[in-house]
């Protein structure tokens, strides 16, 4: 069964009430796994509809048309094209920041990491109405890396963070702590934007 934080976080997703979750935790009591809706797990929910205007997008807004894949880099050596990795990381972190869901703090941010093969993984912050179960961009990027079949976080060789200048909810300290703990050899760049840049 999802915990209370997870239920609240799921409440932030567009069409949350109809999302179905396979509940297996009752198996030890002899019950078969059962599909349950978020609405049945979180009766009388408190969510974005209580705090935000109706036109504010929720997590998982309608998809944009697909973009063509980027051209492969030329002259790759040891997994990296000369001068290419930093630009790719920044671009991925910027895209993650633009896709972030931060309607409560107004501080969208994105984090991108690269492994030794030059593969880039990125994630943006995802806020919840309850605020406490917010998923930060560092966690989102590493979840993306794991979900895409990348190696362990210790394989990270470079990272980039894009966040608002003088953000009330800043992510740089978390990113530095994470990298120091799991990938101290990784290079790290922080790019700040002004609200007018968004």
CA distance 3 to 133: 11
Q: What is the pLDDT of residue 93?
A: 97
- The pLDDT tens digits for 74-130 are 433 334 454 699 999 999 999 999 999 888 888 999 999 999 999 999 999 998 877
Specify the pLDDT at position 163: 95
The total number of structural domains in the chain stands at 2
Residue 167 belongs to a domain with what CATH number?
A: 3.40.140.10
Residue 84, H or E segment: helix 84-99
pLDDT at 75: 36
DSSP state letter for 23: E
Q: Mean pLDDT, 10 residues at a time, over the chain (198 residues)?
A: 83 80 81 89 82 72 48 40 82 94 90 95 89 85 91 91 92 96 95 77
Distance of CA 74 to the CA centre of its chain: 29
pLDDT of residue 71: 44
b (16+ CB within 10 A) / e for 128-148: bbbeebbbbbbbbbbebbeee
Say whether pTM exceeds 0.75.
no
Q: Both 84 and 143 in a single domain? A: yes
Do 36 and 133 lie in a common domain? no
Q: How many CB atoms lie within 10 A of CB 150?
A: 19
Let me know if residue 67 belongs to a domain: no
Q: Give residue 11's domain range.
A: 4-50
């Amino acid at each position: 069964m999802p915990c209370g934080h997870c239920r609240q976080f799921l409440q932030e997703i567009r069409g949350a009430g109809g999302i179905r979750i396979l509940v297996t935790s009752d198996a030890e009591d002899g019950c078969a796994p059962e599909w349950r809706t978020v609405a049945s797990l979180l009766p009388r929910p408190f969510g974005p509809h209580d705090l935000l205007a109706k036109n504010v997008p929720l997590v998982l807004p309608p998809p944009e048309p697909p973009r063509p894949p980027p051209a492969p880099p030329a002259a790759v050596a040891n997994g990296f094209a000369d001068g290419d990795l930093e630009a790719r990381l920044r671009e991925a972190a910027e895209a993650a920041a633009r896709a972030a869901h931060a309607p409560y703090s107004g501080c969208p941010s994105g984090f991108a990491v690269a492994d030794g093969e030059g593969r880039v993984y990125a994630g943006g912050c995802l806020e919840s109405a309850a605020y406490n179960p917010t998923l930060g961009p560092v966690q989102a990027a590493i979840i993306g890396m794991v979900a895409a079949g990348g190696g362990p976080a210790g394989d990270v060789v470079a990272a980039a963070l894009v966040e608002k200048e003088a953000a009330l909810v800043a992510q740089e300290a978390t990113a530095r702590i994470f990298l120091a703990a799991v990938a101290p050899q990784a290079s790290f760049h922080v790019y700040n934007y002004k609200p007018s840049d968004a």
